[in-house]
Amino acid sequence: MGHRQILAALALALAPFAPGAAAQVAVRGGVIHTMAGPPIEDGVVLLRDGKIAQIGPRDAVQIPAGFEVLEAAVVTPGLVDARSVVGVAGYYNQKKGDQEQHEDSAAVQPELRALDAYNPREALVHWVRGFGVTTVQTGHAPRELVPGQLFIVKTRSTTADDAAVRPFSAVAATLSNAAKRSDKSSPGTRAKMMSMLRSKLIEAQEYAAARKAADADSPPARDLALEAMCAVLDGDVPMIVTAHRAQDIASALRLTREFRFRLVLDGASEAYLLLDELAAARIPVILHPTMKRASGDAENLSFETAARLSEAGIPFAIKSGYESYVPKTRVILFEAAVAASHGLGFEGALRSVTIDAARILGVEDRVGSLEVGKDGDLALYDGDPFEYTTHCVGTVIEGAVVSRFERGQPVSGPYNPYQKRGR
């Protein structure tokens, strides 16, 4: 099949998922995990105009005429991936084609907007959606000291603006060997990383003071990078700092004490060495994928860190993260499953990719649990979501059925690059 034929087939496959009026849908589940209370046995969720209109046991919820009815053994809230590069890094791994996650022209570039780089029709977006992932915080990869911004988006095939939940959700920073520059430009050491971050934050403080003091008729010239850092200093968005080693985690804590910004730790492979400090500072953690390769800064990671964070009362979510090799993403469903079997348990694992992730991102008013008035985002499974043999049999976003599967075999829905194509 030629290049044009592939594009035509992809466009045809995505056509049913273009923006439009949300359907009226009822979802019946053998077990419904609402994440807002105990599971509901033999329950029903009614979705009207994109929102959850009613939820409860089957005998207490009447399904109106005309509603499409879906059924599944297990129903959960749509999964929330707290840190990814999906939609910015692409499936085909072409540097001049679909790799937008790393701009290497400067070490500090907080002005780069993830919204401008995101492709909602990227194959990897559709792939993770097929496992029940409905909300993602995505953006620039942790390959520079300040690689750019992150944003929160629904995994819908529409425009980035329409799918965005929060167009600017965080400034990303990196305190690890990944941020060291190999061309002898700065930063080349950890001390230089901290010095450059401090300098940029101080510069942002001075910029904000100058704008406040300036005459309304002659304000200082705008600086997009400093405006982004001012948003961090003002508390409008957090700084999400990727740090794996205990020494780098401690440096991030030191920096937030100095400048009093909202810190969210990302990666945090050695967080188990600083549990008391993290708990005292009330710092949330977006934890590395459970099955991340134990190498480099993450050489001391543990499958049990999620359980240790839970026991210490530290809020955390499990992420898909960024991989430097294809396909550059993982699936949080699988990562949470492994954490569940290493001390976290079913409930904790499901929370880490639903309501707890939503709370860390500040979008729990819309997603993360199944409650009346929240977005109609659901994941449907034919068994225990964390069992290897279970399949996601349907995904619903804001009341629209965006993926349909039967025992893992797509019968309709988005383009799946991993599906064997017929001849």
Per residue of the chain (423 residues), what is the pLDDT tens digit? Answer: 444 443 334 343 443 444 444 579 999 999 999 999 999 999 999 999 999 999 999 999 999 999 999 999 999 999 999 999 999 998 887 777 788 999 999 999 999 999 999 999 999 999 999 999 999 999 999 999 999 999 999 999 889 999 999 999 999 999 999 999 878 899 999 999 999 999 999 999 999 999 999 988 888 899 999 999 999 999 999 999 999 999 999 999 999 999 999 999 999 999 999 999 999 999 999 999 999 999 999 999 999 999 999 999 999 999 999 988 877 889 999 999 999 999 999 999 999 999 999 999 999 999 999 999 999 999 999 999 999 999 999 999 999 999 987 544 443 444 344 343 332
Give the residue extent of every domain in the chain.
3-77+369-412, 79-361
Six-digit token string for 192: 């230089």
Residue 121's alpha-carbon distances to 47, 136, 274, 392, 411, in angstroms, are 25, 14, 40, 20, 19
Six-digit token string for 188: 């080349």
Q: Which residue carries 């959960």 as its tokens?
A: 76
Distance CA 304, CA 288 (A): 12
The distance from CA 218 to its chain's CA centroid, rounded to whole angstroms, is 40
The secondary structure of residue 24, as a DSSP letter, is P
Q: What contacts 24+ positions apart, CB below 8 Å, involve 415-419?
A: 415/9, 415/10, 415/13, 415/14, 415/123, 415/126, 416/123, 416/126, 416/127, 416/130, 417/91, 417/123, 417/124, 417/127, 418/127
**144 burial class (0-12, 13-18, 19+ CB within 10 angstroms)?**
buried
Residue 394's alpha-carbon distances to 133, 166, 193, 284, 342, in angstroms, are 11, 25, 45, 31, 28
For residue 343, give every residue at least 6 positions away whose Cβ sits within 8 Å of its Cβ, in sequence order, or none.
Answer: 304, 306, 307, 308
Q: How many CB atoms are located within 10 Å of the residue 400 CB?
A: 20
DSSP string, 189-244: SHHHHHHHHHHHHHHHHHHHHHHHHS-TTSPPPP-HHHHHHHHHHTTSS-EEEEE-
- Look at residue 298 in the predicted model and tell me its pLDDT: 97
What is the dihedral angle through the alpha carbons of 173, 322, 375, 161, rounded to the nearest 10 degrees?
70
- Look at residue 218 in the predicted model and tell me its pLDDT: 84
Residue 267's alpha-carbon distances to 70, 142, 280, 320, in angstroms, are 37, 10, 19, 10
Residue 78: what residue type? G
Q: Is 184 helix (H, G, I), strand (E, B) or coil?
A: coil
The secondary structure of residue 297, as a DSSP letter, is G
- Look at residue 175 in the predicted model and tell me its pLDDT: 98
Residue 201: what residue type? L
Omega before 187 within 30 of 0, i.e. cis: yes
Q: Closest Cα partner for 113 from 266, 223, 228? A: 228
What strand order describes the sheet that includes 378-381?
A: 51-57, 40-48, 25-32, 68-77, 378-381, 392-397, 400-406, 409-412
- Look at residue 203 in the predicted model and tell me its pLDDT: 98
Q: Which fold has domain 79-361?
A: TIM Barrel (3.20.20)
- Look at residue 95 in the predicted model and tell me its pLDDT: 74
CATH superfamily, domain at 3-77+369-412: Urease, subunit C, domain 1 (2.30.40.10)
Could you tell me if 389 and 400 are in contact, meaning their C-beta atoms sit under 8 angstroms apart? Answer: no
- Look at residue 22 in the predicted model and tell me its pLDDT: 58
Instruction: Supply the angle between the helices 190-213 and 224-233 in degrees, to the nearest 10.
Output: 90
